Amino acid sequence: MKAEKSIENTIFMNMVIVIIVGTLILGFTRVTKEYFEFISETESLRKDYIERQKILIENEVNKVIDYIEFERSQVGENGEYTDEIEKTLQNKITKWVSQIHYGYKNDQYMYIGNYKGIQVASGGFPEFIGKNIWDLEDDNGVKVIQKQIKLGRENPEGIFFKGHWLRKGSNKTSEKLYFVKSVPDWEWIVGTGIYIDEIEEVINLKKEELKNQYKEEMIETIIIFLCIIFIIRFLTNRTNEKINKNIKVFISFFEKASKEKVYINIGKINYSELKELAISLNRMIEERNKVENKIIEVNNKLKKLSITDGLTGLYNHKYMYETIEEEMEKSKEKNTSLCVIMYDIDRFKKVNDIYGHQCGDMVLKKVAECIKNHVGHMGVVGRYGGEEFLVILPEQNLYDAYEIGEEIRNKIKKLSFEHEELKITISGGIVQLKSESPEELVNKADHLLYEAKENGRDRIEK
């Protein structure tokens, strides 16, 4: 004869099952949402990274082109431009280009090839210099050099394109984003590029790590609630009144758990078995919070990478424009002053030419650190581009901003470097907000900066 079921116990058990299933769904939904938010943000970060790298490699190619034009103009001013002089000048430039390395890890390089496919300079593959690599193919059968020459000749202003190229120390090729530009008179193609899969490696590593955490969290959740079912079944013979009081504590917890980080108050639980359940749930919440905190930490790191300059650690161009827009709104709301200063290191190109790019990078870092330390909490400092720095000074009028700017300029002059004879000065332009747009405000500061350059450098115009 079957034992009669208690209606009260049946209702009680069904309620517990609903709570358990609901909590599993909530936990699954929450972790899944966080995972896909991470995936969505990585796509944005990937695009931003590629855009920043495109600006970087285009600037590096243009620097080489500008240097070639400068050297050729100097030879033309000093006398007759013969074939022998031209050959000497080309040798000088190719040696210089073969020594150029740049980028966050200093592993990116420049190269020059001629229209016949002969590599005349390469900072990454010196073994190719002097060789004809016209018919060199990548893993997809594309003749890389022929493609670069064709695109460079057809696009005199330069062009971006994707291709595959060898990795140093490997026989395999990887996808690369190139920028090339031609020097028609010399039949040269000047180019550089970055491997796209570098950011993919970082992002994929984080994805895999998050997937593993996700799986472990779900397994732990299932195991814990299997234990809960067993414990709840054991407690069904206890006094219903006390059990119901304890269940209300759990219900309150589950209702809040989907919206906020809460723990069960162990002091309100009467039964030791339910206390064990509460401890297990609190441990589960604690572990879930750790996973959430790790995800937040990873997202914060990726966000920081998207708004900071890799060399100096200052905020980047994009973030500075966003900050100017925010500070302009605050200035209008509070009716307070707002000034910006645009700095540029004087004769910085000569520093790179004479002492090399590593020394140039050290100069950029020291100048950035000096400006940032002096400005402190008074404003925001960023690297605008190349050797230019932008300072935003909220609640500072033109007179006070000029005083701050002059203090910074004088400090820069006193900086010391590994080369004792090296002395650095900066020029600047200061402007106070009136009714300009962010672009107009920065352009005014930039115009004043170039006035300072024309008036002798090592000065600030306002």
Kindly calculate the radius of gyration of the chain based on its CA atoms and give it in whole angstroms.
Answer: 32
Within 8 A by CB and 6+ apart from 73, the residues are none
Other C-beta atoms within 10 Å of 282: how many? 16
Q: Look up residue 218 and give its two tokens.
A: 């779900």
Q: What are all long-range contacts of 358-362, with beta carbons under 8 Å and residues at least 24 apart?
A: 358/106, 359/417, 359/418, 359/419, 359/422, 361/106, 361/311, 362/417, 362/418
Among 217, 327, 387, 461, the active-site one is 387
Residues 364, 345: Cα–Cα separation, whole Å: 9
- The owner of tokens 């609630």 is 225
End-to-end CA distance of the chain: 100
Mark whether 154 is an active-site residue. no
Q: Is 376 helix (H, G, I), strand (E, B) or coil?
A: helix
Closest CA relative to residue 431, chosen from 357, 297, 361, 337: 337
Within 8 A by CB and 6+ apart from 15, the residues are 247
Q: Please name every residue paired with 181 in a beta bridge, in sequence order, or none if there are none.
A: 190
Closest CA relative to residue 179, chosen from 108, 100, 118: 108
Phi/psi zone of residue 386: left (φ > 0), alpha (ψ -120 to 50 degrees), beta?
A: left
Which residues have a catalytic role annotated? 387
